[in-house]
Structure 1
Amino acid sequence: MGLLTVALLGAVSVGPVQAAEGEGGLALSALSFSPSTVDATAGDASATLNWTVTDGNASAAAVSGDVYVRQVSAAGSTVGPAFDISYSMQPNGSAMTSSVSGNAQSSTYSYDFNVPQYAAQGSATWTVVRVTASDDQGNTLTVGKDRLSEFASTVTAKESVDSTGPTYEDVNLPPDAATYLYIAAKPVTVAYYIDVADPESGFYKGEVTVAGPGGQTASGKLKVVTAGDGNTSCGPNTGGWGSNEIICSVSVTIPAGAAAGTWAVSRIRLTDNAGNTSVYRGLNLAPVQVTQNATLQAGDFSIDPKAVNDWPAAQKLSITMKPNGVRQGLTSATVWTDTGCGGSVTQAPSISADGTITVPATMFNRSKECTITGIALVDGAGDVAAYGSYFDGPDLNLVATQIPDTTPPVATSASLSFTTIAASALPRNVVLTADVTSFAGVSGYSITIYDSAGRPVSGGYGGLSAVTEGAVQIVVDLPQGLTPGVYTVGFELTDEGGLYAQYGYANVGSPAPSGPLQITVTDS
């Protein structure tokens, strides 16, 4: 649809039409298109739809509803989608008709319906096929097309002819989708994305069929939906502002007990808003491999280590299993994980003397845990085995957990790059070097400089690359204006887990490990 124009009008008279009534006295008392014929070949035609809703309930204070307009053929069948014109007596932020006057007992609305430019023939009729209303007292009204025929509810348009059906460009699995599917006692659902184009009347609906071994098939339907704000969508996680070119998502459910082997998109049926249909057969797109783990199998799954110190850096994990029924060697082993870690693809994994294979995963720095969600094996004969919740199978129960950080960092020694400086040489930086040991790795610091009376005169803080053992160097800023005297440096070390240790501060923490860190400022 194009832009919307809505205003409240006075009651519209359409002749001696009896009101279509609903519960509680709600009624459609008037409805008409003006003009009743338009020329839409240039793409800018509109017809104003006026309607009046009355409510016999004197307590009603609000009325809202929808008017549905649809193309209707000469034989009375509908063509293409319905256009949903939402309305509300009072603005509510979502209704197309947001400007209204009067009251709930009689409210009249106006909407400029943009007549589509294209149809399957040179003349097309657009008809109000349903009107709904409800008030704040719980009363409702639904008026169907038979009763609506008593009103001037149609507009006939001269149209540009759309004689071709939609086309598709790409059919893909989502980026994170499994290409192996484990099927046992329950079905599995495969999601596809399909890029559809129809530059004239726009795409409306379709069906995707997936074929597997032995002639087995499964299918899923897709459809463009236009929201009240004009935004279009075609399945979950899609959106746009039109249907001339749109990416749709469609789900296909492969039934339980389906034949093992390759399943791929074999047929696509697409219909546009003018009723033209395109059918594409003999396809072999976006294949997935279905398995019942009947030929190639695996067992004895384990993960090592189960307790991991990933505080200072990411850590490698080893996933071990014992494959059975391997034909012509293993081609690949793939590991999927949750967000706390990363999986891997191992090409041609070798089988050890004890019959096991080991493949890696990575537990990311500072992750609380790493869960292996899926493991898939493929052998040289094309057999597949898939395990884990990633494939809708039982959980593998392979989890590595982070070892808690319970030990603060320790500084075993500390020194300054110089201990005497003239006041005239300030400002100047001095480097504090500390030898540390830390389970989680020292990654932050803070500094305080005290004068001889124990008053802080300067300081700073910052981050470090995590150090578990060895020297860290911290730059201490000696500001201009320090008067001659002795100054003491206190420092704090913080590890990756947030634990800290303080040294050389005036009233807290421990003494500096190698004695007080002092700098003498001289007057020359």
Structure 2
Amino acid sequence: MSVTFARRLVHGALTFAVAISATVLGGTAAHAAVPRLALTALTFEQPVVDVTEQYAANKLTWTVTNTDPDATYIHGIVTMRMRSSVTGALVGHEWTAHYGFEETCCTDATYESGTPQESTYSYQLPVRRYSDATTATWEVTKVTISAGDRTANISAAALQSFGYRFTARTLIDTSGPSIESIGLGGQSRKPYFYVGNGPATVMYDFTAQDNESGFWKGTIRLAGPGGAGVTTPFTWERDQYSTGVRCGSVYGGDRDGTYMSCSIGVTLPATADPGNWRLAALILHNNAGGITTYKNPTAPSITTTFNSTVQASGFAISPNPVNNWRSEVMTELTMSVTGATKGISAVNVDIGFGGCTQWGAPTVKSDGRIAVPVMVYRQTEECEVEGISIVDGAGKVALYGKAFGAPDPGLKITRVPSTNPPVVLGASLDPSSLPASEVGQSSPKLTIATQVQVAPINSIGVYLYDADGNVVSQSFGGTSEAVDGTVTSWLYLPWQGLAPGEYTVGFTLSDAARESSAWNMPDRSDSHTLPGGPVVLTITEG
């Protein structure tokens, strides 16, 4: 198949369309025309816009057509940019306007009128107040038209037959963009990177500002050992599914670039020599073409390694598993380190899920192993060691764990299992007898003696049975287990009272391991007999 561009004069303007022709095997045959997409009109409302006194916009209106009579939708993008009157080059970030047939809420352009076969749209282009001279030109540089699986691209050269540009009277931007402090971002907050398994990406966070023409783009250059260097260009981008913007991995900021938070990834090659890398230059451009160069800006340096000098082995955690069911506990991560110069200056352990944390500086044990204390918080079920960084006295680094993309020692802290349900040794009620007149205003205290096991008891259900085994009152809630195993609760008695007689107390207990047991409950087949006899509440006359 081949694509041909056809031109025809319509309403005083040239029309640009995409047509598709086909060749039949064995010869050429006449056939129905293939549907075409075309731009038939495009013009700015004002040939000159003056923004020297205040902000202004210029309305762009365009019409697109589709010769497919069965089409139900048409859409596309119009791209616009500023051209310098000094250099003649297009400068600054492009503006894009998404449009769609009968779209009224979620596109940039306004649907004016028409059908999927011929429809008109408009867009108010915000005109920048600043350029590199007293005038600048704005141009439509590209129009795309899409319907179904067909797309037409109208290039800048073809657009020159329309009213595709206008002149802007502007103020002169005499300065370049500025930045706030530069820091390491994302998982790059620790300045160590492993390059033994492949490239590593360093994230740099900063905010670019330009209150005149706005921030456009930039370049980051790192300098490494042995004269090595890495240069990374970047700019901000519009989000694909909204009118929001993104600079690197950060969403936010304004589309005119006056204030833009950026998090830019710089990839270090797998062949990078181990050692120190520094931010040698940050170059920023604004939308008027102005440039600011920060040479050797104040920023964290980083260290790369593939564990060629300092190395660790024999990783272990003891005690493990830990019994942290009732309170936080301490454990210890140990390792053997070789190749260090001037001793070990730091060991940092990154642990996932937030239930464990390094608790102090490393120490050297009597056998020469390095030990790092780790706090395991109460009832944390599991913690995975995601990264270990070891720094010797000369600044050389060894890295381990998936947080660095380094060899993973496979360390995980676990909690000792608890598989036995709560065991009751006896129970009592105080008071065990009440006159009927006081039932609605009383809550007898239920004291349960339990066997202290691994997981603490943390919830209780209390049931009151009449002589026929019917439940006449019940309550549920959290509870706690004392050091000696005592669990305390209170009976809920109905406000409407109880008839005189004897009522049996039954209950369920559950622990932090989600094990449970039932006691003195006649309506449950798994209920245990209460040691020392049942707990009975007697309701007397009066």
Shared fold, TM over 0.5: yes
Matched, 1:326 2:323: no
Contact 2:13 2:41 in 1 (8 A): no
Look up the match of 2:81.
Answer: 70
> Cα distance, 1:467 vs. partner?
6.0
Cα deviation code 1:326-368 (max 9, x no counterpart)? 3333222111122264331643x33223221221334454444
Choose the corresponding residue for 1:32, options 32, 36, 43. 43
For residue 491 of structure 1, give the secondary structure of its aligned residue in structure 2.
Answer: strand
- Supply the distance in 1 between the matched residues of 2:337 and 2:477 (Cα, whole angstroms): 50
Look up the match of 2:463.
Answer: 448
Q: Name the CA shift for 1:410/1:235 in 2 (closer, same or farther; >3 Å).
A: same
Cα deviation code 1:272-297 (max 9, x no counterpart)? 11211100002241222222323322
Cα deviation code 1:258-282 (max 9, x no counterpart)? 2333323221111111211100002
Contact 1:130 1:148 in 2 (8 A): yes
Report the aligned-residue RMSD. Answer: 2.4
Contact 2:16 2:154 in 1 (8 A): no
Cα deviation code 1:387-429 (max 9, x no counterpart)? 1221111211112344444321111221123212223334112
Choose the corresponding residue for 1:408, options 410, 417, 421. 421
Look up the match of 2:4.
Answer: none
Look up the match of 2:143.
Answer: 131
* Equivalent residue runs for 1:177-326 within 5 Å: 177-227=189-239, 229-242=242-255, 243-326=257-340
Contact 2:347 2:389 in 1 (8 A): yes
**Count of aligned residue pairs for this structure pair:** 511
Choose the corresponding residue for 1:19, options 16, 19, 22. 16
- Supply the distance in 1 between the matched residues of 2:359 and 2:512 (Cα, whole angstroms): 30
- Supply the distance in 2 between the matched residues of 1:497 and 1:219 (Cα, whole angstroms): 54
* Equivalent residue runs for 1:415-430 within 5 Å: 415-426=428-439, 427-430=441-444
For residue 403 of structure 2, give the secondary structure of its aligned residue in structure 1.
Answer: helix
Structure 2 residues not aligned, in runs of 5+: 1-8, 21-34
> Cα distance, 1:497 vs. partner?
2.3
Q: Name the CA shift for 1:41/1:14 in 2 (closer, same or farther; >3 Å).
A: farther
Contact 1:185 1:257 in 2 (8 A): no
- Supply the distance in 1 between the matched residues of 2:110 and 2:294 (Cα, whole angstroms): 44
Q: Name the CA shift for 1:215/1:468 in 2 (closer, same or farther; >3 Å).
A: farther
Look up the match of 1:4.
Answer: none
Contact 1:231 1:239 in 2 (8 A): yes
Q: Name the CA shift for 1:46/1:14 in 2 (closer, same or farther; >3 Å).
A: farther
Q: Name the CA shift for 1:497/1:467 in 2 (closer, same or farther; >3 Å).
A: farther
- Supply the distance in 2 between the matched residues of 1:433 and 1:484 (Cα, whole angstroms): 23
> Cα distance, 1:501 vs. partner?
0.6
Q: Name the CA shift for 1:44/1:412 in 2 (closer, same or farther; >3 Å).
A: same
For residue 429 of structure 1, give the secondary structure of its aligned residue in structure 2.
Answer: coil
Look up the match of 2:474.
Answer: 459
The aligned amino acid for 1:224 is W
TM-score, length-scaled by structure 2:
0.88
Cα deviation code 1:292-341 (max 9, x no counterpart)? 32332211111234434444444433211011123333222111122264
> Cα distance, 1:460 vs. partner?
1.1
The aligned amino acid for 1:205 is K
For residue 234 of structure 2, give the secondary structure of its aligned residue in structure 1.
Answer: strand
Q: Name the CA shift for 1:477/1:318 in 2 (closer, same or farther; >3 Å).
A: same
> Cα distance, 1:254 vs. partner?
1.6
TM-score, length-scaled by structure 1:
0.91
Larger deviation, residues 86-95 vs 484-493: 86-95
For residue 293 of structure 1, give the secondary structure of its aligned residue in structure 2.
Answer: coil
Structure 1 residues not aligned, in runs of 5+: 1-11
- Supply the distance in 2 between the matched residues of 1:208 and 1:267 (Cα, whole angstroms): 6
Identity of aligned residues (%): 33
Look up the match of 2:519.
Answer: 503
Contact 2:76 2:99 in 1 (8 A): yes
